[in-house]
Structure 1
Amino acid sequence: MAALQKLPQRRRLIRLCFLLVVLWEVGARQMHYSVPEEIDKGSFVGDIAKDLGLEPPALAERGVRIISRGRSQLFALNPRSGSLVTAGRIDREELCAQSTRCLVNFNILLEDKLNIYSVEVEITDINDNAPRFGVEELELKISEMTTPGFRIPLKSAHDADVGENTLQKYELNPNDHFSLDVRSGVDGNKHPELVLELALDREEKAIHYLLLVALDGGSPVRSGTSRICVTVLDVNDNAPIFTQPEYRVSVPENMPVGTRILTVTATDTDEGYNAQVAYFQEKTLGETPEVFELESTSGDITITKSLDFEDAKVHEIDIEAQDGPGLLTRTKVIVTVLDVNDNAPEFYMTSATSSIPEDSPPGTIIALFNVHDRDSGQNAFITCSLPENLPFKLERSVDNYHRLVTTRALDREQFSFYNVTVTAKDGGKPSLSKDAYILLQVADINDNPPTFPHMSYSAYIPENNPRGASIISVVAHDPDSDDNAHVTYSLTEDTFQGAPLSSYISINSDTGIVYALRSFDYEQFQDLQLWLTAWDNGNPPLSSNVSLSIFVLDQNDNAPEILYPALPTDGSTGVELAPRSAEPGYLRHPEKKLPREFKKCKEAPEKLNR
């Protein structure tokens, strides 16, 4: 009873071990490395040979190579050391902008087994960019009636680095009237604000010059500066205020150029010139050409360039509202681009064969290819299919790789080639598809012997024929190709009337024409029976036999000869007396015998008629 209770526990333990093995094998196909940006070409990244469980010389022997899709080659394999090295200068900001993590993914292919391994390389940031302001000098106008504590948003600096290497803090040169406060926005960025600490007096000092410094957290620290010119005015104590601290809008990527997607609005409680609000789009250094346009008086935002979800999924627009004297406030517009199914699947043929022997076993790999759709979600879900009634099937591998393999033995004599169409279809509505064509030649093997169209042949030849006379032509057909279909003929060795059969008959090995090697005499023999053999030129060669009957036709080549009575040898006239009792049909003397030839004529008179 105790043994029966332990049995389910053992089964659960076996299942757990099997699951752990499967998970280990899946994880083993993913390799992760890390390398800092801007290092020299040829710098070590990771030991590929070790992680694949191979010795460095085996990389070339097994055809290990890097395959990547739609991107310049950033890494290479060192065949001597078996390590992964950089193929050139790598700029993290160029690859990933300000993403927190910068990952480069590609695949390692083992050509001999057509195995695919995924490789992920993280490009870490170095402090190679200093903070930079969009403008070198900022002009501000502040009313002298402004009370201490009044805040003025300043232009932010931009640092292309990430983490500790990006912008960390701002500093303001010491002065009596202003201090600096830094606030973090909803996007996590730091925004400097100029704080009025002491009331201004235009008559005392009409212009204040300040220096704003932006510093990053790298080692050594990098910095950027912006000059601030503050002009003191008499009145205008209210800055414009946006109706929302942040605007969000979603737009499909196929929205036409010129479409208005949003209107931002800011109000100013001042009057007259001090309440006139204008809108400006804040520029960021290194930014690509604007996709949107902001109308300065209305706040309308329109599309000026076609959107592409595959290039950018989110656009952030920093907008400033500035009143007449120059007070400003800012807001952010976040435009989310929605994907539409505007990209058909794409094929990347990794390996393909153009010819396959017809005796290849089922499961032979014809091609390895990858399919990719630049869309996302259901629009990027790809299914591949083949036409029906073909001796092939598709096997899906990792990372959208597919193998085209045979499902049964091929027959070149039935189909000498296949033009295989592979169709990749995405899951969009309506779906898009693309075809790839693989031309496969079926190579011949010598699997068919030559075949005669008849099971036996008969031929007739008159006697007294000239030597070398053609008797008959036989032809055998071989459905194979090239040397496997090249047929030669031979005569089976035998004897006839004590002499080799080849002394009577010969056959042309190329044409199959049978010739007589001597003049035949009907009175010596009336027929010949022989076997012919057809061979192909395969390795090993195949053959078949056929029987040939040659009949000799009689010609009138012999004059009649009197056999009886015989003429006397002394020159006299021979006389033969018949007795009176002789009956009709009496022919010879009772003591004399008829010659053997005469007997034959008497027994078979019909032969004389021939």
Structure 2
Amino acid sequence: MYIVGLCAVVFFAPADPEVRYAGTLAAAAPLDYERGRRHALVVRATDSVTGAAADLAVTVSVLDVNDCAPEFSEPEYRAAVSEAAAVGHTVLVLRAADCDSGAGGEVRYSVAAWRAAADDAAAGSFAIDEQSGALRVATPLDRERRADHHLLVTATDAGSPPLSTAVHVFIAISDVNDCWPRVERAVVGALVSREGARGVAVARVAAWDPDAGDAPRLRFALAAGGGALALDSRSGVLSLARPGALAAAAARSLNVSVSDGARATLARVKLTLAPTNAAAPRFPHLVYEARALENQAPPLLLTTVKAVDDDPGEYGAVTYSIPSARLRETFAVDSASGAVSALVPLDREARAEWAVPVLAADGGGRGQHTLVRVRVADVNDHAPAFPLPEYRAAVRRDRAPRLPFLTPSAADADAGDNARLLYSLDEGEAAGDAAGLLAVDPLTGAITPVSPAAVGNELSLRLHVYRLSWGRHRVS
């Protein structure tokens, strides 16, 4: 046997008697169509005795089978396309080669989304020409909805069985300025105060732009008529510029424009003028007079104080209080209505007049005081009383008649008519041996002898005192 190249020649005895020797040409190793489609061989027959030889040229043609899958020119593809690209625009052309011949070398392309179950929209945005491998835009693109796409392109040959290869394609969508700036709130409230310091921030217009890179380029501008406020063109922060002009500015809303350089959106700033504590509460009277009968059951309404405050809102709301903790044990004031009441029965004999200060304060802490003067009116609740249980006096014999020799004086803790007293002596048997001999002045209580028999004798008598009004209390 002789081996020539990839072939071997094997000699054997033929069955035909006319043919003395024969040989078979066989492959000595696997053949590969892609490495060599034809093999030129020379087969030599040599006489083993004489050494004579004869050569025969043999050409071996290798037939192809579909044993090669298509191969892409790149391990992966990356491309960028504008979101403004028209449908049908070619993004890139993919190339895959198949070294097989015939149908096995014919390549067809298809495209699908990577992990299509979760990304069906990506596949629908692009289409590929199955013959040329040109990847084109299939639907309008929107970078704001999707900034990049991950596709899987497959190249499949027409052999039997068909073989295929897939490659990853990454497409980035480049931005164009096709979106309007957007504000977080179309109407922004701003609470401003005339007492605010210049430069104090009062509100902020927050905005953004879906376009890539446009957010840092946004610029804010204040419409005409906003002289009381200043607007930072980059941050959208509104601050006080002239607090004194707020009275006019607060009567309307202001427009703020937000621009990305090509498009602008408006936001409305609604100004609300904050109340200021410009006025303090004031009472129409510095002193309120109140009169109350003593011994009345509590709570006893004495009077109502009323203060006014010209400020609106919470700064104009007035509350009342009694600053003195000691007086709060006896008196109270309703914090809302200003009604002043006595918490305990008042006793004129203990204290006939009270001075109760009342404070009116507004929501900003400003206040004013007034005084409630309470005069306690008397009630006839005390009986007259002599300071001594008995009185003794000696009268000279030569004393002229009708001259007082003793003036017992009684007292009554009540006031006015309730303290006016009337004196008298017992009459009849109760007068004892002084009957008809002595007399008493009913107003002063002065006792005088009315008969010479009264002088020089020891006499006893009972003196009574009465109130002139509000009932008669008798004291002996």
- Normalised by the shorter chain, which TM-score bucket? 0.3 to 0.5
TM-score scaled by structure 2? 0.44
Which protein shows a greater Rg? 2
TM-score scaled by structure 1? 0.36
